[in-house]
Structure 1
């Protein structure tokens, strides 16, 4: 089980904790899915804070000008911070905590205006401070610890300034606290719910992605099994048929010819009968590996056509080069020196015969014609004594 899979498994027990292995992915997820919301809430909070200038002008008119200048200056600073956090650094914790931190500063600044005002409406107006805690808590989507710290700071500032505004009288502070505490707890609960919802959504997304990856891997394995010979681990006949047709279609589109080798192990039936099927299977695997090793990377692909027959699909157009490659493969298989004491020609080692043809050969009008030519040439090689290459030397360019 990978680190991410174990992290997802453990997170099923508690969606509250994001495992360390998933932290980076979680941060990217929050930025991708909630970055626009965090940006929007910063602008909404800034607009709401600036609109309070009208309330200041109405309830603390002696501080109206200072309120206007203060809010304007803080908004400019806020815009700079928004640019730095959302477009320059793009740190998810800074994105999440920028508005609550602005709220802390705004709370301090607003209470400074109230403390300096001589308006009789200050004791009533101070109840509007609950807006700061509401805005701070409802905008968080990533760090509940961060919002707890900011909420504690904002609450401390509000209650301390309440105490100062009432000259240390406990009753007004108590009355205010009774009204303030439910707002604080409710907004924190909403914040916890929102953040927990984001975490659960992330973990669900990770689980779905894990399932998609497992399904893709399974489909890949099934596709490979469907196109791979189970014994030799090279392409099977189905894979060859598809590859041959695909190469033929490509040749028709781009005009680049290709070639085919049809290889057959000489006297394989007596080898299999006398040495046993297990040794016969080992022989097939060794021959397949030898043929594959004899090709340069990207030069061609090897397939088991059936029984002891193999096919090599090559991106070779020159007949001379094709003959040279076929001869080299024949020699490499012979050099394996696999004992074969039961072949009737007395050679006493395992060999192969090869039919070789290019798509440029005369009479090749379709993909099946190319294979038929190779099959005919392979039969000719066997008729002439086996352990040899027979190729289509008389060929012409197709019209």
Structure 2
């Protein structure tokens, strides 16, 4: 049975509550009530003494013959009791000693007054005055917060003193019976009320204790839930939610107080291949080891680290200067490299686990938003990957590949197909020998929401960096097949593909699916590989090209001469056609440029490839192409780009006729 999050929390929090024993509860009750009892003892005694001394007036009125003695006794007992209580309080005596002093004061006050008062000659007055002795009994039971036993003993002593006085005082039997009954009733009633009050106080304490325990448990559960919701379960690092909250705090402090910080994104290189080769358990172990090593490093810089994705981590750290960023980024890279975790499935000459690091430092900019610094770190990470991985890059706003404009284009590309912001136009290609137009080249166009055109030189690199080229490429292949090939308006299409597409697993399969959907044979497609783009020389690309050839698709090499890998690719792959970049034709006005073009043509011809020259714009250039024996040309002299409708005609081309699709 699958465990829910609640089950996990239940396991994390101890469920067996340790109930305290009765004796422990009593001890805790007395301990927690000490503060209230100490306060009640001091305030109660001072108030009781004040009332006790005021009764001196009654002494003068009712028993004037012994008033001097009773008043002296009152002041003596009061002074002694207050002095003793204050001394105990200042010296920190336990609360029970303060209670004992108050109880003794009550008993002493009653007895000290009673002894001289009983000798008075005003017997009738005294018989009435004795009723007020019950006040001392009530004080012991109700006025102070004595423990029940101390209250009963105190009021009991007062009761005994009363009966002694009744015995010694010359009075008749009915009076003694009536007053004695009154005192017993008062003792019983006040003792019962005192017992109930103590019991109620204890129950209130128990309820409060239960409420505190429940609140503590609820708090612990809440903290456990919060901890689980903010912690990555695999690595124990903060998860994306927690790190996002911390990022907002960092950002707020930078906005308010100017405290600079760095955001660093870390991606484990070729982690998918590691997982596929060694298994997911080893993959998890790899991430844990990397996380622990990085966590130890970041603690030294008083920063925070969290897991931001599958194999991606994020670091936040406050730094004063931009120069410090490069040091921590390189330290991160070296830390993982020094772990020397084996990774034999890499094809870049490195056999250990490494990371790519992208960092962004806070900088003053108009309209800055929180997401900005994350996007900048992400773009720096992309450049680190594009730079060969196992390296660190700091975001540079002056780099065209990291500019804000490219960020806007990246956002536009996400909605380009759905909003019909991309389209294709076609430019004809002419056979030099026959003079006939044998095909067309399809050019991709992108416009912004306001209709402004975006140059291919801007949006194609961004599409490759963000991965949008994959969806755009599939859309372009399907569009050309539907617009020109399905109804036999043209015979062959060449699609300019990016190395990113060739390295993507399943690319050849997706092309086969499009051909199946549109009913177009693979032999009617030819894909162009642009030499100007950096291409990794590994088996994934070569295997993909081989799969495409099995589908019948022809492979062209585009923009030959503009990059550094052209000769290597001519050696590795049998291209059907090689396209020479227009810059070599335009340089033919000088003898050196003309000689270079002739050398390139000779090199390609010796390899047995057909040659297409781009950028033919004048009659003189066309004549030169005839002189050099070029197979095909393209340029404004042959025809300008036009919509697909201009080429929808009855099929009149021979099998060799060609249509070219270029994502540029």
- Do the aligned partners of 1:319 and 1:358 also contact (CA within 8 Å) in 2? yes
Query: Structure 1 residues 22, 280: closer, same or farther in 2, change over 3 A?
Result: farther
- Asked which structure has the greater CA Rg, the reply is 2
CA distance in 2, matches of 1:297, 1:95: 56
* Alignment correspondent of 1:27: 34
Alignment partner of 1:272 out of 270, 275, 278: 275
- Do the aligned partners of 2:156 and 2:187 also contact (CA within 8 Å) in 1? no
CA distance in 1, matches of 2:266, 2:366: 21
Matches of residues 1-399 of structure 1 in structure 2 within 5 Å?
A: 6-7=19-20, 10=21, 18-21=25-28, 23-28=30-35, 30-31=36-37, 37-84=40-87, 89=92, 91-121=94-124, 122-165=126-169, 176-296=179-299, 299-360=302-363, 365-392=368-395
Shift of 1:77: 3.5
Query: Structure 1 residues 240, 123: closer, same or farther in 2, change over 3 A?
Result: closer
- Do the aligned partners of 2:74 and 2:113 also contact (CA within 8 Å) in 1? no
Shift of 1:281: 1.5
Query: Structure 1 residues 171, 264: closer, same or farther in 2, change over 3 A?
Result: same
Higher-RCO chain (CA-CA 8 Å, sequence separation at least 6): 1
How far does the alpha carbon of each residue in 1:54-112 deviate from its partner, in whole angstroms, 9 at most, with x for none?
33233322112222333234333344345445666474334444432211111211121
Structure 1: gaps of 5 or more residues: none
Shift of 1:23: 4.2
- Do the aligned partners of 1:18 and 1:199 also contact (CA within 8 Å) in 2? no
- Do the aligned partners of 1:361 and 1:392 also contact (CA within 8 Å) in 2? no
- Do the aligned partners of 2:45 and 2:82 also contact (CA within 8 Å) in 1? no
RMSD: 3.1
Shift of 1:321: 2.2
Name the stretch that deviates more: 72-81 or 366-375: 72-81
CA distance in 2, matches of 1:235, 1:208: 33
Shift of 1:126: 3.1
- Do the aligned partners of 2:330 and 2:392 also contact (CA within 8 Å) in 1? yes
CA distance in 2, matches of 1:380, 1:304: 21
Name the stretch that deviates more: 218-227 or 377-386: 218-227
* Alignment correspondent of 2:662: none
Query: Structure 1 residues 134, 297: closer, same or farther in 2, change over 3 A?
Result: farther
CA distance in 2, matches of 1:355, 1:340: 22
CA distance in 1, matches of 2:326, 2:213: 49
Name the stretch that deviates more: 196-205 or 153-162: 153-162
Structure 2: gaps of 5 or more residues: 1-13, 399-664
SS in 1 for 2:299: coil
SS in 2 for 1:229: coil
TM-score by length of 2: 0.53
Name the stretch that deviates more: 309-318 or 272-281: 272-281
TM-score by length of 1: 0.85
Name the stretch that deviates more: 190-199 or 258-267: 190-199
- Do the aligned partners of 2:274 and 2:343 also contact (CA within 8 Å) in 1? yes
CA distance in 2, matches of 1:21, 1:343: 67
CA distance in 1, matches of 2:276, 2:364: 38
Shift of 1:323: 1.6
- Do the aligned partners of 1:96 and 1:142 also contact (CA within 8 Å) in 2? yes
Query: Structure 1 residues 338, 142: closer, same or farther in 2, change over 3 A?
Result: farther
Name the stretch that deviates more: 196-205 or 19-28: 19-28
Shift of 1:295: 2.0
Equivalent residues, number = 384
